[in-house]
Structure 1
Amino acid sequence: MAEQKPDGIDQNPITVALQRVYLKDSSFEAPSSPGIFIGEWGPTVSLNIGSKTSELGDDNYECVLQLTVEAKQGDQTAFLVEIQQAGLFLLRGLAPADLQRALVTFCPQQLYPYAREAVADLTNKGGFPALQLQPMNFEAIAAEAYRRQQAEQATAAGNAAASPEANH
């Protein structure tokens, strides 16, 4: 519980603030160009996404949102884009569970529009139509990952209880 002065002013206010957004790393490859530009454009696009956080001290955290986008035209790679969109966040006064949730959902959610813009810009500059990634709900993604983790743990616990070695 936050301490309060006698006049009711909170001594430990909660602060959640984005301090800075920056592109930490980016890469664009078009290994099949210029031949890939000939013919009808109808790629299969895959997206891998992840994030990592680092505590920097004084309630400051870096969050890095990592996106890897690959477009294939048949069996040829049309382009590969890798983005590390980063941000500095001030997260003060949060309970540990709320801090973890902010690092996993809130921070990546704030960075994602910048990463989407970087992907669209790089694909367009590479001679391809600007790739517009769909919006994402990081709260739903985190909830699904937690549900899967719980199911895997329950399955593992059930398998351990059913194994012959567990009954000895």
Structure 2
Amino acid sequence: MADENQQPVFQIQRVYLKDMSLEQPNSPAVFLEQESPTIEIAVDVGAQPVAEGIIESTVTITVTAKVQDKVAFLVEGKQAGIFEIRNIPEEQLDPLLGIGCPNVIYPYLRANIADVITRAGFPPVHLAEINFEVFYQQRLEAFAQQQKENGAGIVMADGSAARH
């Protein structure tokens, strides 16, 4: 195939809001609370092939605000992008999907989440920048640690130790 001689391709085809949900289980009473809510934020990234050379990348953010032990609001947003990725060396593909694509998508998600929270009647929550390179490295380390822990205790039926 002629792919060997072709230039690497990394192009954004589309960025879109894939999913957004808002829950306010304690409204309207929560609006009368004087105490400021505590905010918890969870982040996840993902990627999956759509077609040959076409990948959908996603960033999911969950923002939970609590006043004492009551949930004021919970917002979960998933922003996605479709990227054309061709002729990228295999060792560069995973970092591109774990760092490059999320860096493109995240600013859109930040704006969408801030908008939903404001429209819900709460002061805006401005999400901080995320260093997806550090996030990617942490995920790799956690995966390696998990593999190490899972692989350490496996003993085969014949008594020999198996390693991963």
TM-score bin, normalised by smaller chain: 0.7 to 0.9
Q: How much has 1:113 moved relative to structure 2?
A: 0.8
- Name the residue aligned to 1:18: 12
CA–CA distance in 2 between the matches of 1:13 and 1:58?
16
Please say which structure displays the higher CA radius of gyration.
1
- Name the residue aligned to 2:132: 138
- Name the residue aligned to 2:58: 64
Matched residue SS, 1:108:
helix
Matched residue SS, 2:99:
helix
Q: How much has 1:48 moved relative to structure 2?
A: 1.6
Runs of 4+ in 1 over 6 A off after TM superposition: none
CA–CA distance in 2 between the matches of 1:21 and 1:148?
29
Q: Which runs of 5+ in 2 are unaligned?
A: none
Letter in 2 for 1:136: I
CA–CA distance in 1 between the matches of 2:66 and 2:16?
28
Letter in 2 for 1:59: G
Root mean square deviation of aligned Cα? 1.9
Q: How many residues align?
A: 156
> TM (normalized to structure 2)?
0.85
Q: How much has 1:97 moved relative to structure 2?
A: 2.1
- Name the residue aligned to 2:115: 121
Matched residue SS, 1:141:
helix
Q: How much has 1:159 moved relative to structure 2?
A: 4.4
CA–CA distance in 2 between the matches of 1:79 and 1:122?
11
1:30 is aligned, of 20, 24, 32, to 24
Q: Which runs of 5+ in 1 are unaligned?
A: 4-10
CA–CA distance in 1 between the matches of 2:28 and 2:74?
15
Report percent identity of matched pairs.
32
- Name the residue aligned to 2:100: 106
